[in-house]
Amino acid sequence: MVLLLTCAVQNYDWGITGASEVRSLGESNTGVPADPAKPYAELWMGTHPSGPSVVRATGAGLRETIATDPAAHLGAVTLARFGDDLPFLTKVLSVAKALSIQAHPDKALAAQLHAERPEVYKDANHKPEMTLAVTRFEALCAFQPAAQLAANLAAVPELRAIVGEAVAAAFATATAAAAAGETARKALAAVFTAVMTADAAAVAAQVGALVVRLAASPPGLSPADTLAV
């Protein structure tokens, strides 16, 4: 069964302003001229409530269409394993600059967060992702080994200042002791939380300090400074 869809376009800040795959696909798919002043980041094909696809022939949402006969639309195997909704979201991305850092919950936590705060967590699914690059694309996934993270905190004083001495020291201690399980996870979570919730003025001050330090350093950056930059 093939359904022609009208898809949603997302104008996130990191998208491309001007000619791009998402802009071109969005125009041809929706028939709506693009706004040349807006960035075009993602085209979505799926049932996600933040950008659901619409079946052209009927004007009904894809999710509502699937619900009329889930077995026919999804197949018995998919229905039995994932339930009566499309279990994936296909996206086309046009990326102009670094995307925001994302930390995705597992399936159990996703269901819990959706039940508790549906206005923030729009669906109950986890977010495993697969990327197929059709042009050159660079991505960072997961964390570096704990020992390398500890070395970076020691080598980049500006990063250590953002994290805070107590949090950085606790992480270094956990790493040196080869701590496993909950202790190591909590130490890493504390570092990540400190970075992601740091005061904007403090971050700006440390970025300025980093620029001054690197300008006064011999030519060539260390691996840790390259990562920081």
Beta bridge partners of 61: 54
Model confidence over 181-202: pLDDT tens digits?
A: 678 888 999 999 999 999 999 9
CA distance to 82, 89, 103, 167, 214, per residue, from 129 (Å)? 16, 10, 12, 30, 36
Closest CA to 76 of 67, 68, 84, 64: 84
Let me know the angle formed at the C-alpha of 11 by 5 and 15, rounded to the nearest 5 degrees: 110
Whole-model pTM above 0.75? no
Distance of alpha carbon 25 from alpha carbon 22, whole angstroms: 5
Model confidence over 86-136: pLDDT tens digits?
A: 999 999 999 999 887 777 888 899 999 999 999 888 888 888 888 899 888
CB contact at 8 A, 42 and 26:
no
